Structure 1
Amino acid sequence: MEGQHYPLETFTEYRKEPQQLGLQPTSPDNTQLNTPHSKQIDTSVVKAAFAFHNNVDVARQKRESQFTVTAASVPPTPAPDGHVEQEIRAHEARHMFRIRIARGIQHLITSALSLMIAIFQGSTYNIFQQTKDVDGAWPIHADVFPTLMLFSVAVVALVFDACAIIAYAFPRTKIGQKAFKVALGAHKIITTLKGVSYFLTVLVCREGFSQGKASGQNNDLWGWSCSAMGDKMSHVNQAPTICATNTVAWIMGIANVAIEVLGVGIDFFVKRDARKKKEGTFGAGWQTQTDPYSDQKPLFMSGAKGGKYQQISEDPLEQLDGYGDEIDGGLNESKQEQK
């Protein structure tokens, strides 16, 4: 038997008593057993299997006792109820209220700016359509793309801001719930697109205005209305009014970009401040989402090293580091006994 190895399946199959496995002796001195699969197995294999599993059981009990002592010194993660939950929810409510107020003010300001931009650009395009056939009122090859681009961005931004405001003002009505779903599902995406779109649009408008001034052509509506050629037909195309309103709309577009960036910054710093205060009060062993569009409960997570609260696995065997080494040791001892 020396030097002979047995697969793990053999040990697992013959851990039970031979009688339970239906093994029958095939020789008078019981030195060989007949398996259900007609395999001839020496009784030393069964003895080795018993010795192996006994060593494994001892190793398991030893490691479990070590884990129990270690786990007992670590406070368990508090369940999401009782006094701890009340304190957490109080902190959460205060910070969510602050973010709601900040975002509500942001939506009100940006919606007002978007509304004015849409009105100014829509009015400019309407006047152009009504007077474009009058000779000299507009350039021969008028470029309306910057005007329509800024108008479209303003309308999309206004729709989203309106949904957010309705969700804040009427949270329990049907229209408020629908607006809430729109705001919840698209807040981060729309906020990012608004800022980027406004930024690109004001660049396009300013570039068209500057190139028109430099070349003297002024093909865009804004540049034409602010030129001497546009002033000659001001009684038709209302050039002074269009020049002033488009200039204001461009400034409002820049203001929208600044407000979106400021809103993202406020969100970041308020959430970071909330997280630091909560970790200082309750430890680093939990995490919760602070978002005015979120109704999630605090999520108790496994704590950072040294945190006030830490989570212990329900299955202590998952914490048995080096358990495979103990098994290998038991197998080696079993082989030594066979020799």
Structure 2
Amino acid sequence: MAPNPFKFFLSQSITGFGNNKSHAQAGYSDLGVPLCPPTPYFGPSPTAQQCDPKASPKHEVLLERFGKIRRWTKIASALSHFISGLLSIFMESAMFYVTYRFYKTKDITTEDRPWGPWPQETKLWPTFMLAAASVVTSLLALAFLIALCCRSKRKAAAFSLLYVLVHIVGWVVISALYRIGKSDNDLWGWSCTDQAKEIQNQLGSDVLNFESLCKLQGSSWEVSIAEVGFKILTSGISFYFNHKQKGLKSKMVENMG
């Protein structure tokens, strides 16, 4: 049976999601690092001395360094998803509010505009696109934070290059499309036109404030750019700590001979 694509993505994005098990046996510390030399199944068991980290002072030092790196990797990962979630919540809230104001006021008519204060054929897809992307990102951020809290110590620090690349490339495309979609007949572009200001003066800002809607949507686009920049920065930090973590783990395996 072909593998489930969604399960494959989660298994690549969240360490420990999959059920794959190693074909070797080894003793592990609370930090998830080997205390014994790995041996094949049905092979001879490691001796007690081989499984004693105190038997090697160097191994004990490496174990302590690994614990510190693991904590920083976890902090960087949690901070990345937490702030990414906050930025996404801001964008989705802004898009929902703009959409709400559009549907609430689109039937208000004036003498020279019987179709309402908005363009006759209003383009909504840029707003819906940014809202949908923000909802998905905030839900993924929440899922990753929950997984990070519930994950065992052995798998607490993780970095997924696949997820980071999808996240960054996806938001670059979304930010670009949202900006390209700005025109005289979409919600953002129309809110910033001189015609919209005249309609606002005619109806009153308490009825329809195009100026505030223009600023809100412009801020949302800037936040989408910040989302990309922040993800690149935090992913670079997470990658650095993850690389150091793997290097220390390899050294400990080599140290056990």
The 4+ residue runs of structure 1 with deviation greater than 6 A are none
1:287 aligns with 2:253: no
Tell whether 2:90 aligns with 1:116: yes
| 1:127 correspondence with 2:101 | yes
Q: What residue in structure 2 maps to residue 36 of structure 1?
A: none
In the alignment, which residue of structure 2 is the partner of 1:95? 69
Q: Which has the larger radius of gyration?
A: 1
Check 1:141–1:81 CA distance in 2 against 1; reply closer, same or farther (3 A cut).
farther
Shift of 1:95: 0.4
Q: Decide whether the 8 Å contact of 2:70 with 2:245 is kept in 1.
A: no
Contact 2:88 2:135 in 1 (8 A): yes
Name the CA distance, whole Å, in 2 between partners of 1:259 and 1:164. Answer: 17
Instruction: Describe the shift of the 1:310–1:167 C-alpha distance in structure 2 as closer, same or farther (beyond 3 A).
Output: closer
> 1:110-259 residue pairs with structure 2 within 5 A?
110-134=84-108, 135-168=115-148, 171=149, 176=150, 188-209=161-182, 212=183, 218-234=184-200, 235=204, 236-259=207-230
Between the aligned partners of 2:147 and 2:235, the Cα distance in structure 1 is 20
Q: Distance in 2 between matches of 1:80 and 1:222?
A: 64
Q: What is the CA–CA distance in structure 2 between the aligned matches of 1:206 and 1:230, rounded to whole Å? A: 19
SS of 1:287's equivalent in the other structure is helix
Match for 1:145: what amino acid? W
Deviation at 1:112, TM superposition (A): 1.2
Question: Counterparts of 2:160 and 2:241 in 1: how far apart (Å)?
Answer: 17
Query: Which residue of the partner structure matches residue 59 of structure 1?
Result: none
Q: Distance in 2 between matches of 1:153 and 1:189?
A: 18
Q: Structure 1 residues 148 and 187, CA, compared in 2 at 3 Å: closer, same or farther?
A: farther
The answer on whether the counterparts of 2:87 and 2:223 sit within 8 Å (CA) in structure 1 is: yes
Corresponding residue number in structure 2 for 1:10: none
Task: Indicate if the aligned counterparts of 1:107 and 1:165 stay in contact, CA closer than 8 A.
Answer: yes
Change (3 A) 1:189 1:129: farther
CA spacing shift, 1:153–1:187, aligned 2, 3 Å:
farther
Deviation at 1:187, TM superposition (A): 5.4
Contact 2:80–2:235 (Cα < 8 Å) also in 1? no
- Output the amino acid matched with 1:220: D
Task: Give the structure 1 partner of residue 41 of structure 2.
Answer: none
1:190 to partner: Cα distance: 4.0
Q: Is the 8 A contact 2:168 2:231 kept in 1?
A: yes
Looking at structure 2, the residues matched to 245 and 208 of structure 1 have their Cα atoms a distance apart, in angstroms, of: 16
- How many residues end up aligned between the 2 structures? 192
**Does the 8 Å contact 2:124/2:186 carry over to 1?**
yes
How far residue 271 of structure 1 moved from its aligned partner, in angstroms, is: 3.2
Quote the Cα distance in structure 2 between the aligned partners of 1:130 and 1:207: 26
Bigger relative contact order (CA 8 A; separation at least 6) = 2
Give the Cα separation in 2 of the matches to 1:198 and 1:127: 25
Q: Percent identity?
A: 24
Q: CA, structure 1 residues 80+159, in 2 after alignment: closer, same or farther (shift >3 Å)?
A: farther
In the other structure, the counterpart of 1:49 is none
Displacement of 1:145 after TM fit? 0.8
- Per the alignment, do residues 256 and 87 of structure 1 end up closer, same or farther by CA in structure 2, a change over 3 Å counting? same
**Quick one: distance in 2 between partners of 1:138 and 1:80?**
73
Deviation at 1:105, TM superposition (A): 1.8
Aligned residue identity for 1:155? V
**Counterparts of 1:298-309 in structure 2 under 5 Å?**
300=253, 309=255
Alignment correspondent of 2:236? 265
**Partners of 1:262 and 1:132 in 2: CA distance:** 41
Question: 2:66, 2:209 → 1: CA distance?
Answer: 54
* Residues 113 and 195 of structure 1: CA distance in aligned 2, closer, same or farther (over 3 Å): same
The unaligned stretches of length 5 or more in structure 1 are: 1-77, 213-217, 279-285, 289-297, 304-308, 312-339
Query: Residue type matched to 2:135 in 1?
Result: V
TM-score between the two structures when normalised by the length of structure 1? 0.50
Matched position secondary structure for 2:122: coil
